[in-house]
Structures are given as C-alpha cells and as structure tokens.
C-alpha cells in the first residue's frame, strides 16, 4: 500500500459499463483542442489557449536596464505588473498628445 492508496486493488479493478456514464461526452470543440498522437509521435498539436476578447499584443520596447532588473527581481508575472502600471498611467493622463516627450 502506497500512502492511503491500494494500487494493487486499483490495477485489478475491471471497469463496468455503468461506470462509463460518469465520463463526459467528447465534443467537436474538445477534439479540435486535443493533441493528436500515433504512439509516441505527435502528429498535430491542439489549438493552444482559448481565444480571449482582448488579446495581448507583442511589442519590442526599449527600457532602462535598471527598470527591467527591478521588475524582474519582483518575480514571476513582472510583465503583467509592467502592463498594469502602464495602464494606470494611461488612466491618469488626459491624452497621450498632451504628454511631453522625455528623452534620455
């Protein structure tokens, strides 16, 4: 016995037809998201993450090294925190055209 599980009993269990009622029916959407394998070989990868109403957009942005280091040091999710801070700045600014250009 491993922990509180009797693996030999689980291995010896033979599934009965009525037990299949607990399994949800597979839908076309589920099958479209699934990875398709033949043996150990991946034939087709599923579609990945579900689409969101407002997807993020990848950009290249040059920031000061110390700014990036500080955010990265705060741990996983630092990019989300940068996004939240930028969004907050947008909400407090009346218009982007009104802001003065700042160059270093």
The predicted-structure confidence for 65-98, as pLDDT tens digits, reads as follows 999 999 999 999 999 999 999 999 999 987 655 5
- Counts of helices then strands in the chain (DSSP H, E): 4, 2
Q: How many domains does the chain have?
A: 1
CA distance 61 to 21: 53
Residue 73 lies in a domain: no
Tokens found for residue 22: 């607990």
Task: Confirm whether pTM is higher than 0.75.
Answer: no
Residue 66 lies in a domain: no
CA distance 41 to 26: 22
Name the residue range of residue 16's domain.
7-44
pLDDT of 87 reads 93
Residue 58 lies in a domain: no
45 pLDDT higher than 90: no
């Amino acid at each position: 016995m491993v922990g509180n599980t009797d693996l030999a009993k689980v291995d010896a269990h033979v599934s009965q037809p009525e037990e299949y009622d607990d399994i949800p029916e597979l839908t076309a959407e589920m099958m479209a998201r699934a990875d398709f394998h033949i043996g150990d070989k991946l034939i087709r990868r599923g579609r990945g993450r579900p689409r969101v109403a407002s997807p993020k957009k990848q950009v290249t942005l040059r920031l000061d090294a110390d700014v990036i280091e500080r955010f990265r040091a705060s741990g996983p999710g630092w990019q989300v925190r940068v996004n939240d801070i930028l969004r907050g700045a947008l909400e407090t600014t009346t218009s982007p055209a009104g802001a003065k250009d700042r160059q270093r």
